[in-house]
Amino acid sequence: MTDSRNREKDDGDNWLGRFDLLVGEEKLDKLKRSNVLVVGLGGVGAYAAENICRAGVGQMTIADGDVVRPGNINRQLPALHSTVGMEKATLMARRLADINPSLRLRVVSRFLKDESLNELVASEKYDYVVDAIDTLSPKIFLIYRALSAGLPLVSSMGAGGKLDPSQVKVCDIANTYNCRLAFILRKRLRRLGVSRGFTAVFSPEQVDKKTVIAVSGEQNKKTTVGTVSYMPPLFGCYCASVVIRDLISMPGSGLPDEGCF
């Protein structure tokens, strides 16, 4: 008799067949029972959310209050000329539901600040949190609340100003280097009394100061950094890989005692 896992099927009911073949039914079932929160649906978060969804995670909450702007088109998954002005969260919700019609999905289409982030983190029992926020204050508060609640978390550092994909790394936040955002986060979190570590995706590639310009009038942003098409998606893929491998305890999950991988 031929094992059904060795037969490729193209029907809609077996859309996870290739992943089942890779990890097995038990681990796939674990993902189907998992609940993941993704905050921030820009260049990093949208790709993280989609890859988590495509791995069969059964329940997700996605949150972002922004709309698509023309400047997003070079790097963000929901950003097209035809979607300018539309809510990123709504666009991503449609994509995720079309990928997995069985997905239990909650959509939060608003900018989140201290109290609303606290409510979001406390509102459900999440198995993992993805921080893909690109503004400092809400990023710090999300990390603080998630860690205070004892939730596993992966946080994306800045992908802007980077060109070399081979330099992207995953490690505990304490082991990051040559990354200004990670440095600021460590400093601010220490002031809040946070001693527990968390996983960070970062690149030590030096940012050319000429690629950073000051801006005004944008939500919580003081600067804009030049960004290439492939770097934010790569950071998002790394975030998704951390979540998926940790949830099913695959080889390569977790972090080394020292350094990065």
CATH number of the domain enclosing 145? 3.40.50.720
Residue 218: band (very low, low, confident or very high) from pLDDT cuts 50, 70, 90: low
Check residue 7 and give its pLDDT. 46
Query: Tokens 């950094």 appear where?
Result: 225
| CB contact at 8 A, 32 and 56 | yes
Q: What is the mean pLDDT of residues 41-53?
A: 99
Q: Is residue 232 part of a domain?
A: yes
Check residue 256 and give its pLDDT. 52
Q: Is residue 43 part of a domain?
A: yes
Check residue 213 and give its pLDDT. 83
Q: Which domain, by its residues, includes 44?
A: 23-247
Q: Is residue 233 part of a domain?
A: yes
Question: CB-side exposure of 79: number of CA atoms within 13 Å?
Answer: 20
Q: What is the mean pLDDT of residues 59-85?
A: 98
Check residue 196 and give its pLDDT. 78
| CB contact at 8 A, 32 and 247 | no
Q: Is residue 16 part of a domain?
A: no
Q: Is residue 258 part of a domain?
A: no
d(CA 3, CA 9): 12
27-54 core/surface letters (b: 16 or more CB in 10 A; e: else): bbebbbebbbbbbbbbbbbbbbbbbbbb
d(CA 91, CA 143): 25
| CB contact at 8 A, 238 and 231 | no
Q: pLDDT of 94-119, one tens digit each?
A: 999 999 999 999 999 999 888 899 99
Residue 4: band (very low, low, confident or very high) from pLDDT cuts 50, 70, 90: very low
Q: Is residue 99 part of a domain?
A: yes
Cβ-proximal residues to 74 (8 Å cutoff; 6+ apart), any chain: 227, 228, 229
Which one has a higher pLDDT value, 238 or 215? 238
Q: What is the mean pLDDT of residues 182-208?
A: 93
**Number of domains making up the chain:** 1
Share of the chain above pLDDT 90, in %: 80
- Find the DSSP H helices in 72-127: 88-99, 114-122
Q: Is residue 9 part of a domain?
A: no
Q: Is residue 154 part of a domain?
A: yes
Q: pLDDT of 157-173, one tens digit each?
A: 999 999 999 999 999 99
